Structure 1
Amino acid sequence: MEKTGQPVEEYLAGVTPKRRREDAERLVPWFARITGRPAEMWGTIVGFGEYHYRYASGHEGDAPAAGFSARKAATTIYVYDGVDAHRENLARLGPHTTGVGCIYLKDLDAVDLDVLEQIIAASCAALGDGPWTARARDGATD
């Protein structure tokens, strides 16, 4: 994954529907505060910070340490250590669905933002220093 250099504001201006754009505009400063990093575009992901990963297969690269994407159907929050690592907090989050490493939110106002902050902060902390070598679906960060 690579940074695109696209201004975040330009990406946000094109987000539809309007509700999703408004949620994304709220999330940018919120993620920046949590991570201590500015927003940068990684494709269609608004990313904050970065980490290097290396898999046993030899594949390696860089990705944002935290991020989200404003999709039409839902806002996607990326948790790079996998959603299973956050099971207890997800039970308290409010309405959402999940994938292996994604939390899908249809209504930002319906979730507990304090709980979401705990999930994002813990996910970033799990990356630690140095290469992250396990995939989220493996359920480990060794």
Structure 2
Amino acid sequence: MVTTWTGGDPDAYLDAVTPAVRRRDAQTLRELMERVTGEAPRMFGTSVIGFGEYHYEYPSGHSGHAAAAGFAPRKAASTVYLPDGVGAHADLLARLGPHTTGVGCLYLKDLDQVDLAVLEEIVRRSWERVTDGTFGQRARESGS
């Protein structure tokens, strides 16, 4: 999720999301992430709704900022970004319900089929880890 804040309107973006199930899930994810982070949503790039930010630095010295929590309502599934990597949440993912994963991404096709309390705990744990001032990596480098 390396890109920049764009200043776009998250409400307008979410209102235009299709299909309808993805729009419904996007509203649920927005509310969940606002509750967990206490941050207002902002557009990060052209299709990511981000909350807060953290600083990362690669061993090479390259550094930047990324959303500390975020999601993207894609046509095939909603993508929830976990900057600390999905491995850090294996215990909770086992209880979540139907999902697939990438290194730092959680893919959800229908939030009605997952345990939202478990999802909220995953987002909360990730948020706390990447905003506590000690996390400075990206999911691929975290070893989680």
Q: Normalized against structure 2, the TM-score is what?
A: 0.92
Distance 1:51 1:135 in 2: 10
Alignment of 1:4-83 (within 5 A): 4-43=6-45, 44-83=47-86
Q: Is the 8 A contact 2:54 2:65 kept in 1?
A: yes
* Structure 2 partner of 1:92: 95
Instruction: Give SS of 2:17's match.
Output: coil
Distance 1:137 1:52 in 2: 15
Give 1:2's match in structure 2, choosing from 1, 4, 9.
4
* Structure 2 partner of 1:127: 130
* Structure 2 partner of 1:115: 118
Q: Is the 8 A contact 1:74 1:104 kept in 2?
A: yes
The Cα of 1:124 is off from its aligned counterpart by 1.0
The Cα of 1:139 is off from its aligned counterpart by 3.5
Instruction: Give SS of 1:134's match.
Output: coil
Q: Is the 8 A contact 2:56 2:138 kept in 1?
A: no
Distance 1:128 1:48, change over 3 A: closer
Poorly superposed stretches of 4+, deviation over 4 Å: none
Amino acid at match of 1:104: Y
Amino acid at match of 2:70: G
Q: Equivalent pairs: percent with the same residue?
A: 55
1:93-121 deviations in whole A, cap 9, x for unaligned? 00000000000000101000111111111
Q: Normalized against structure 1, the TM-score is what?
A: 0.93
The Cα of 1:130 is off from its aligned counterpart by 3.6
Distance 2:38 2:137 in 1: 24
Q: Is the 8 A contact 2:77 2:108 kept in 1?
A: yes
The Cα of 1:58 is off from its aligned counterpart by 1.4
* Count of aligned residue pairs for this structure pair: 141
RMSD value, Cα: 1.5
User: Which runs of no fewer than 5 residues in structure 2 stay unpaired?
Assistant: none
Distance 1:47 1:66, change over 3 A: same
The Cα of 1:46 is off from its aligned counterpart by 0.4
Distance 1:69 1:61 in 2: 20
Distance 1:14 1:57 in 2: 39
